[in-house]
Amino acid sequence: MVLSLRKRFLLRLSLLGVTSIVLLYVASFALVQPRMIAGETRSAHANLDRITHLLDSRMSHLNVITRDWAQWDMSVEFVGGRMPTYPAVNFSEAMLKDAQQTLMVFFDQRQQVRWVVGIDPSTGQYTSCEGGKGACAWSLELVRLIDRHLSSQPPRSESWLLSSPMPAIVATSPILTTDARGPTRGWLGIVQLLDESWQEQAKTQTGLQLSIRAVPKAYPGRMTVTPHSTTIKRDASDKMTVTRLIKASPESAYLAITAILPRTDYQGGIRALFGVTATLAIIFILTLISVAVLLERLIIKPMHTLGTYTQTLRHQEDRFYPLPESLLSRDDEIGLLARDVQRLINEERTRNVTLLHQTRTDELTGLANRRQFEECLQKALEQARTAETPLCVLMIDIDFFKGYNDHFGHPEGDQCLRMVGDLMQSCFAGGDELAARTGGEEFMVLLPNTALEPARQRAEGLMRELGERRIPHPGSRVSKYLTLSIGLSILKPGTERSPKDLIKAADIALYAAKTNGRNRVVTEHGFRPSLNDQ
């Protein structure tokens, strides 16, 4: 059988194409898969870091709670045997459950068990016993481990992990008077189990299915154990199991944090690899069929159009140019590619807008952050110089906010910051005015084209608005309600000042407001009595 030159050419070109595609796939797989595995490994470590950071945060929180109990004068009286009503007044099953605590142990000055209160993990029964005896016998091993730890450590507040008899967080603290002076009057230990309930809460916070268990150091069939060593088992194509070992007490075992992670990126990479290869194969076949007549019309010209579009887009990133309809309306691979490119461009633009918003906005209050404030201040200064108009800056601080946090807790403190932010947003929302959160409880306001007296009145109006809300603040030493201290600086028409100078002047005025009693507005040019003093 004699084959025509065209057929021979097409046959050999087809064989070359098939071979090229196979080699391309093999080479791509050999190059891409290790990178996907490496990326998957980095993701596994990052997820374990999230769990570890959550565990560290819970340990710190329990340590703070334990120290607060231990540095309470009533606790000092109790371990000294001078307050017999202390357990009945302060201990209850609801209290332990609300705090997610399993055990509280009070030791006296001689490190003898004074009182044990807790919930038996095996029965769920609440017990409260003097000396840890009787119904509290279930806690003896935990009490013994806490006692041993106290004997081997200096008298300080600390939290640590327990692997046996059950995974748990333990916080211990010497019992001292509120001012933390004088000798140690006793010790307090609080235990929080890392049980299924805790793990479910961690899953809710991290979105990861995890478990925590004790692993003996002599555990067979594993890698050499070191603290924070991590193992990754790719059990299937759709999931993997990652485990990290953390030091715990007693030293004969570690705590193993295990999480089951989906292999979404890996599967997506494999599918993308297959998709790219399949697309190349289809394009190659179409190219063979239309090598002479359709080459220019179907491939060269559209690809040239797409290349020209991407070059135009790269040089003019600030403007939006849609892909030509001739590409988007095509129903072949180039059309699919064009629509994918258009979709990716749209997604990238959306991500950029979102990212820009996040980098310029305070996450907690929704106000501008320091970066956006400084940018707007620079622009406002330039406009004020050109137009010869005044410009005022307010620096605002919530009075005794630490006391508010200490009394109500950080969640309520965050809610307070959001409320103040909403109030500032409503009070300073006109024109080019800008309210920003620039620190923990520190806010700043930009008032373009505003003279000193109107700016002072606006600041006092904010204080009145807050005062009318009568938000209780037991931790304040200036009022029983939440108050503000405000410092004000100004750029007068025809003068020159830098953004740094304006901010520093407002800061100095704020310091003066705090020094002179708080709950007041002070300008850089003079002192103004408190609203409550007028």
The pLDDT tens digits for 298-340 are 666 676 676 676 767 666 655 566 777 777 777 777 777 777 7
State the pLDDT confidence band at 532, using cuts at 50, 70 and 90: very low
Residues of the chain with CATH 3.30.70.270: 370-533
- Out of 219-228, 266-275, 520-529, pick the least confident: 219-228
CA-to-CA distance for 86 and 440, rounded, in angstroms? 37
Stretch 429-452: mean pLDDT, rounded? 91
Stretch 56-79: mean pLDDT, rounded? 91
Q: Is 362 helix (H, G, I), strand (E, B) or coil?
A: coil
Task: Look at 530 and 370; give whichever has higher pLDDT.
Answer: 370
pLDDT of residue 400: 94
pLDDT of residue 507: 95
Strand partners, 481: 472
Q: Is 258 helix (H, G, I), strand (E, B) or coil?
A: strand
pLDDT of residue 298: 65
Residue 32, pLDDT above cutoff 80? no
Computed over every residue of the chain, the mean pLDDT equals: 83
Stretch 211-237: mean pLDDT, rounded? 70
Which fold would CATH assign to domain 370-533? Alpha-Beta Plaits (3.30.70)
Does this model's pTM top 0.75? no
State the pLDDT confidence band at 113, using cuts at 50, 70 and 90: very high
State the pLDDT confidence band at 526, using cuts at 50, 70 and 90: low
CA distances from 455 to 357, 394, 440, 446 (A): 28, 8, 24, 10
Residue 441 annotated among the catalytic residues of the structure: yes
In angstroms, how far is the first alpha carbon of the chain from the final one? 112
pLDDT of residue 106: 95
Residue 223, pLDDT above cutoff 60? no
Residue 282, pLDDT above cutoff 70? yes
Residue type, 252: S
CA distances from 232 to 35, 206, 256, 258, 389 (A): 16, 19, 13, 10, 64
Residue 355, pLDDT above cutoff 70? no
pLDDT of residue 533: 41
H/E element, 5: helix 5-70
Q: 140 with 134: CB under 8 angstroms?
A: no
Catalytic residue among 433, 441, 460, 524: 441
Stretch 19-39: mean pLDDT, rounded? 76
pLDDT of residue 18: 76
Q: 249 with 229: CB under 8 angstroms?
A: no
Query: For residue 429, which phi and psi values (nearest 5 degrees)?
Result: -125, 15
Share of the chain above pLDDT 90, in %: 42
Q: 508 with 395: CB under 8 angstroms?
A: no
State the pLDDT confidence band at 529, using cuts at 50, 70 and 90: very low
Share of the chain above pLDDT 70, in %: 85
Among residues 209, 296, 218, the alpha carbon closest in space to that of 254 is found at 218
